[in-house]
């Protein structure tokens, strides 16, 4: 477990850029990006995200909101 705060929008975008160049202004998260984002969260926070949360993570803002909900309970 980690004492890190949940990631914000800039951090999520930074993590997604680890997969390669994203077009500016792209809000939607595709399946490969979601898998990468989940991997980043699991590595940094030591938590596994439930499937019902993953289904909600379709955009950057939605991902930030879900992570803010899920991670405080694990810190």
Mind spelling out the 3-state secondary structure of the chain? CCCCCCCCHHHHHHHHHCCCCCCCCCCECCHHHHHHHHHHHHHHHCCCCCHHHHHHCCEHHHHHHHHHHHHHHHC
Q: Is residue 3 part of a domain?
A: no
Q: Is residue 2 part of a domain?
A: no
Q: What is the pLDDT of residue 21?
A: 80
Average pLDDT (19-45) is 90
Q: Is residue 53 part of a domain?
A: yes
Q: What is the CATH number of the domain that holds 34?
A: 1.10.1200.10
Average pLDDT (56-65) is 96
CA distance 53 to 21: 26
Q: What is the pLDDT of residue 53?
A: 93
Q: Is residue 23 part of a domain?
A: yes
Q: Is residue 41 part of a domain?
A: yes
Q: Is residue 4 part of a domain?
A: no
Q: Is residue 67 part of a domain?
A: yes
Q: What is the pLDDT of residue 59?
A: 97
Domain that residue 28 falls in: 9-74
Please determine, for residue 75, whether its predicted confidence score (pLDDT) is greater than 70: no
Kindly report the pTM of this predicted structure.
Answer: 0.86
Number of domains in the chain: 1
């Amino acid at each position: 477990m980690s004492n890190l705060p949940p990631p914000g929008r800039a951090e999520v975008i930074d993590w997604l850029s680890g997969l390669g160049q994203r077009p500016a202004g792209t809000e939607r998260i595709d399946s490969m990006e979601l898998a990468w984002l989940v991997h980043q969260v699991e590595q940094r926070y030591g938590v596994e995200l439930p499937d019902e949360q993953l289904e909600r993570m379709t955009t950057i803002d939605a991902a930030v909101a879900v992570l803010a909900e899920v991670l405080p309970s694990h810190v």
